[in-house]
Structure 1
Amino acid sequence: MTGVPASAAGGTGRRAPGGKLGAAAVNQASLWNIANILTMVRLVLVPAFVVLLLQDGGYDPAWRAWAWAAFAVAMITDVFDGHLARTYNLVTDFGKIADPIADKAIMAAGLICLSGLGDLPWWVTGVILFRELGITLMRFWVIRHGVIPASRGGKMKTLAQGTAVGMYVLALTGPLATLRWWVMALAVVLTVVTGLDYVRQAIVLRRRGLAEERAARAAEAARSSQASQTAPEPPR
């Protein structure tokens, strides 16, 4: 999750007081900064995770443990790249695009593979993927009116989804296998509830934005009308 145009690539700045990078360093932030590198690592881990999970038909406990490790690393890098990008002002256009793609790619890969192996009902995968795709498209729909911020519920949803998918990737038995069902149920509930809340926020945001645009046009028309009425008449 990173952020300065790639044309500013190259330099490494000195730290400003307080451990943050100063303005000069921000202007020199490179596409190849640590936050972007972590995002790219997460993208590379997606096919690696799929290959590991599907080895030997997808039911070998050892291979699934390796797949879980790849999935866990991807989830951890998601936390750190965002923190680093915000803390050190490393937000780039690449990061803005690649970070959400990497997040959704690893989650979608896990859900689809688990459903394909018969470990997870397809309707669960469908609900989660439909929500994620729908909310992403909705954010673009209202982006000219403003940005819908990530909510606490959304963060809880992401944590629940990651925990549940990770537990399903592992070859768990007994009480842990039962527990993962409840964790996934919680993830589905949070997915639906937070999705509906985002829809509500989007509708409110769009209505407010349209109202402000109409008010701005009316004010501009009033100023133009007043200017035309007060303009001096040309000499005869």
Structure 2
Amino acid sequence: MSSAATGGPGGAVGDEDRVMRPVTGPTTDVPGVPAVPLVRAVDPAPGAELPEPTEVPLLNVANLLTLTRLVLVPVFLLALFTGGGHHTGWRLIAFAVFVIASITDHVDGRLARKHGLITDFGKIVDPIADKALTGAALVGLSVLAELPWWITIVIAVREVGVTLLRFWVIRHGVIPASRGGKLKTLTQVFAIGAFLLPLPGWLVPVAWISMGAAVVLTVVTGVDYVLRAVRLRARGLRALAP
């Protein structure tokens, strides 16, 4: 890259490198308004350091929503098992808590992207919160004998494995969620919600079909994540090699 493009010695300084400084000279002259020096953009002196970009605070609204989702997990389990796990009113409460917690997953990610609140903490804790919520729901439904244990185990192994992979490659980078992963999460949420609701008999097949789709997407996206993690680690090791 040329010095002109980087604003180095002898090169032009872009607008993003300019700083606003008060300068002597003309002042505002509006009746009723105190006279203040005019401010104009000036090029920084050679070798001068520009202000560092503001760091994103750890306790921002997106991360707080993520933590809220973690807090709602035991609340959800309490509602699910109250009344023996088959009380209609408590099942509806458990469904409502599950839906609210799931909505925070969409909201916190959207806020983080829109307002520049993305942090490494959020990238790591957000998927953990998701897995804690879905895992608690699947285990709870299996304990109540409403969902086969093999489905819970397949999904749990994939989710725990992906979490371990995140830590395995965290030194080299963070793998963002793919479209397939987002679809997997959406399908899981829909399927679990269907199982939580006291559905009439004619709607039960909908719950089973959606859960089957969730299992397939869980396995496929899990394999894709393993491949992406291996490639990321390989690139990182090559970059570190002398």
- TM-score when normalising by structure 2: 0.73
Which string of whole-angstrom CA distances, capped at 9 and with x for unpartnered residues, describes residues 202-222 of structure 1?
2222333333433xx1xxxxx
Q: Which residue number corresponds to residue 182 of structure 2?
A: 155
Deviation at 1:110, TM superposition (A): 0.3
Q: Which residue number corresponds to residue 58 of structure 1?
A: 85
Match among 69, 84, 87 for residue 42 of structure 1: 69
**Which structure 2 residue ranges, 5 or more long, are not aligned?**
1-50
Match among 111, 133, 139 for residue 106 of structure 1: 133
AA in 1 matched with 2:155: I
AA in 2 matched with 1:58: G
Report whether the alignment pairs 1:197 with 2:224. Answer: yes
Deviation at 1:114, TM superposition (A): 0.3
Deviation at 1:152, TM superposition (A): 0.7
User: What CA distance in whole angstroms lies between the structure 2 residues aligned with 1:209 and 1:184?
Assistant: 37
Cα distance, 1:30–1:143 mapped onto 2, change above 3 Å: closer
Give the 3-state SS of the residue equivalent to 1:95 in structure 2.
helix
Deviation at 1:119, TM superposition (A): 0.5
Q: Which residue number corresponds to residue 168 of structure 1?
A: 195
Which structure shows the bigger proportion of residues in helix conformation?
A: 1
Which structure shows the bigger proportion of residues in strand conformation?
A: 2
Q: Which residue number corresponds to residue 231 of structure 1?
A: none
Moved more, 161-170 or 86-95: 86-95
Equivalent residues in 2 for 1:24-39 (5 A)? 27=54, 30-39=57-66
User: What CA distance in whole angstroms lies between the structure 1 residues aligned with 2:175 and 2:67?
Assistant: 25
Q: Which residue number corresponds to residue 172 of structure 2?
A: 145
The count of residues paired between Structure 1 and Structure 2 equals 191
- TM-score when normalising by structure 1: 0.74
Cα distance, 1:208–1:36 mapped onto 2, change above 3 Å: closer
Q: Which residue number corresponds to residue 76 of structure 1?
A: 103
Between the two structures, name the one with larger relative contact order (CA 8 Å, sep ≥ 6).
Answer: 1
Cα distance, 1:29–1:144 mapped onto 2, change above 3 Å: closer
User: Does structure 1 retain, via aligned residues, the 8 Å contact 2:111–2:117?
Assistant: yes
Q: Runs of at least 4 residues of structure 1 off by over 6 A?
A: none
Q: Which residue number corresponds to residue 232 of structure 1?
A: none
AA in 2 matched with 1:61: T
User: Does structure 1 retain, via aligned residues, the 8 Å contact 2:128–2:163?
Assistant: no
Structure showing greater Rg: 2
User: What CA distance in whole angstroms lies between the structure 1 residues aligned with 2:122 and 2:223?
Assistant: 27
User: What CA distance in whole angstroms lies between the structure 1 residues aligned with 2:240 and 2:61?
Assistant: 40
Deviation at 1:159, TM superposition (A): 0.4
Q: Which residue number corresponds to residue 152 of structure 2?
A: 125
Cα distance, 1:189–1:28 mapped onto 2, change above 3 Å: closer
Give the 3-state SS of the residue equivalent to 1:118 in structure 2.
coil
